[in-house]
């Protein structure tokens, strides 16, 4: 089913080549629009870089698309959910990072999205900065920053921009940089992006589009794919090493209730992490109800009993509840930390816990759309040692 070819990059400009490819996709008769990150100019400010997801109908606007920009303002799986939770009647292409595709798969399983009317175009994820760090790198030429960033990451430079910040923690610990469940994959790892990029169809829908674009299978794909696989293995190994170190630090920082309280001491109950989380989908959250609107006298009673009480209250309970709700679906995208106004390392704890809970159920969030959600199926022989049945 899979077909692979290699596209030439003109004038050393990888972004322009991807823009040309996406323009060709949008010009197909059966593709109504394309969802992709775009550099949006705000007012007369031509120096700032504002990359946001945009639904584009007009192919002439493709020139401002920048899916390689090292910024990740939001997990666009939530937007795809909004576009597909009811029949659309039209087919759109969506350009997504690997973690966005994985989150989308979880939302499909949770009946919050549908993949029938979309073509998923995935691009090897080179990572991104936090919103705050990216803002510091705002320059007059967004495309120049993107090109420099891509070249440096693929060359193994850390940090990617000289004198700049490191990538976000979520990207540094992510062991899923390749969008495996895309219909069409744009490959960067193992490529000299000044000369070429890889294009691969991974599904029937992807192969149909591949052929409509008049691409043919490359005769030299086997060797190039073997070289690419080696590079990807090395990248993932480095990320896993860093991930394990982060897990050790997080475990030490949260392995008692007192430590956990200190970990979340800066939480102001803004709930930004919940809003930013792509798989936190409840229509009504218990923390937005009257359940936690305590009577004034209760705060006095708590303070009297303990000597003092930290306000706002219930912050630990809030995060523990979220962990219980979404750790099995957590894809580690890091938007929870990205959205935190007080820079609490929310992602580190959630990914650490999710790593354990998903392993316990032999489940990888977003890995396989056909694998049932944990707790949604009954297995008679499951956890007999836990329930005490011999």
**What is the per-residue pLDDT across 250-271, written as a single tens digit (0 to 9) for each?**
999 999 999 999 999 999 999 9
Strand, helix or coil for residue 380: coil
Kind of pairing between the strands at 196-201 and 33-39: unpaired
* Length, in residues, of the chain: 390
pLDDT band at 43 (very low <50, low <70, confident <90, very high): low
Name the least confident of 42-51, 360-369, 370-379.
Answer: 42-51
**Could you report the per-residue pLDDT of 153-212, keeping only the tens digit for each?**
999 998 888 888 999 999 999 999 999 899 999 999 999 999 999 999 999 999 999 999
Strand bridging mode 3-8 / 33-39: unpaired
Indicate whether 99 pLDDT > 70: yes
Q: Is the pLDDT of residue 235 over 90?
A: yes
On the question of pLDDT at 389 being above 80, the answer is no
Q: Residue 73 has what DSSP assignment?
A: -
Strands 92-96 and 51-56: unpaired
Indicate the pLDDT class of residue 42, thresholds 50, 70 and 90: low
Helix intervals (H) in 220-281: 221-254, 257-263, 272-276
Query: Tokens standing for 309?
Result: 């009480």
Q: How many CA atoms lie within 13 A of 178 on its CB side?
A: 17
Long-range contacts of 259-267 (CB under 8 A, 24+ apart): 260/316, 261/310, 261/316, 263/344, 263/345, 263/349, 264/315, 264/316, 264/319, 264/344, 265/310, 266/342, 266/343, 266/344, 267/312, 267/315, 267/318, 267/319, 267/342, 267/344
47 pLDDT more than 80: no
What pLDDT was estimated at residue 388? 67
DSSP β-bridge partners for residue 198: 6, 187
Q: Considering the chain, what is the average pLDDT of its residues?
A: 91
- Start-end of H helices in 27-168: 77-84, 98-109, 131-136, 142-154
**What phi, psi does 43 have (nearest 5°)?**
60, -135
The answer for residues whose C-beta is within 8 angstroms of residue 88's C-beta and 6 or more apart is 117
**Band of residue 117 on the pLDDT scale cut at 50, 70, 90:** very high
Most confident region among 101-105, 158-162, 296-300 by mean pLDDT: 101-105
pLDDT at 78 over 60: yes
* Radius of gyration for the alpha carbons in the chain, expressed in angstroms and rounded: 22
C-beta atoms surrounding 102 within 10 Å: 28
Residue ranges in 12-115 assigned as alpha helix (H): 14-26, 77-84, 98-109
What average pLDDT does this structure show over 285-308? 88
The pLDDT value recorded for residue 257 is 92
Q: How far does CA 363 lie from the centroid of its chain?
A: 18
Helix (H) / strand (E) containing 123: strand 118-123
Q: What is the mean pLDDT of residues 113-118?
A: 94
Query: How far is it between the farthest Cα atoms of the chain?
Result: 77
- 357-380 burial string, b = 16+ CB within 10 Å, else e? bbeeeebebbeeeeeeeeeeeeee
Residue of 43 and 285 predicted with greater confidence: 285
What confidence tier does 22 reach under pLDDT thresholds 50, 70, 90?
very high
DSSP 184: E
Q: 5-9, 130-134, 305-309, 380-384: which range is least confident on average? A: 380-384
The band of 45, judged by pLDDT with boundaries at 50, 70 and 90, is: low
Burial readout 147-161 (b: 16 or more C-beta within 10 A, e: otherwise): bbbbbbbbeeeeebb
Helix%, strand%, coil% for the chain, nearest 5: 45, 10, 45
Residue range 31-44: average pLDDT? 85
Where residue 379 falls among pLDDT bands split at 50, 70, 90? confident
* pTM for this prediction: 0.92
């Amino acid at each position: 089913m899979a077909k692979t070819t290699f596209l030439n990059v003109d004038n050393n400009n990888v972004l322009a080549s991807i823009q040309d490819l996406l323009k060709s996709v949008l010009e197909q008769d059966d593709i109504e629009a394309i969802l992709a990150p775009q550099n949006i100019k705000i007012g007369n400010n031509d120096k700032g870089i504002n990359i946001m997801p945009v639904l584009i109908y007009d192919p002439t606007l493709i020139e401002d698309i920048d899916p390689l920009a090292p910024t990740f303002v939001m997990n666009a799986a939530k937007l795809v959910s909004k576009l597909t939770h009811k029949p659309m009647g039209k087919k759109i292409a969506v350009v997504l990072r690997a973690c966005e595709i994985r989150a989308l798969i979880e939302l499909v399983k949770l009946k919050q999205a549908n993949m029938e009317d979309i073509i998923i175009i995935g691009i090897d994820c080179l990572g991104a900065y936090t919103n705050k760090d990216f803002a510091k790198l705002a320059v007059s030429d967004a495309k120049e920053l993107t090109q420099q960033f891509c070249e440096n990451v693929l060359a193994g430079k850390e940090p990617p921009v000289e004198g700049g910040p490191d990538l976000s923690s979520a990207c540094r610990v992510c062991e899923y940089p390749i969008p495996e469940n895309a219909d069409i994959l744009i490959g960067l790892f193992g490529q000299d992006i000044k000369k070429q990029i890889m294009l691969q169809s991974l599904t029937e829908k992807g192969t149909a589009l591949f052929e409509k674009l008049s691409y043919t299978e490359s005769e030299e794909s086997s060797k190039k794919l073997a070289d690419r696989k080696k590079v990807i293995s090395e990248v993932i190994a480095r990320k896993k090493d860093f991930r394990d170190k982060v897990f050790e630090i997080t475990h030490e920082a949260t392995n008692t209730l007192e430590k956990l309280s200190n970990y979340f001491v800066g939480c102001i109950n803004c709930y930004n992490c919940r809003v930013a989380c792509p798989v936190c989908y409840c229509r009504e959250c218990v923390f937005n109800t009257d359940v936690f609107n305590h009577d004034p006298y209760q705060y006095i009673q708590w303070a009297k009993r303990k000597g003092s009480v930290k306000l706002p209250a219930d912050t630990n309970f809030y995060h523990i509840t979220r962990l219980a709700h979404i750790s099995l679906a957590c894809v580690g995208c890091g938007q929870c930390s990205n959205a935190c106004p007080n820079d609490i390392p929310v992602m580190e704890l959630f990914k650490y816990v999710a790593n354990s809970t998903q392993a316990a159920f032999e489940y990888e969030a977003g890995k396989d759309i056909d694998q049932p959600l944990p707790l949604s199926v009954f297995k008679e022989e499951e956890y007999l040692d836990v329930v005490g049945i011999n």
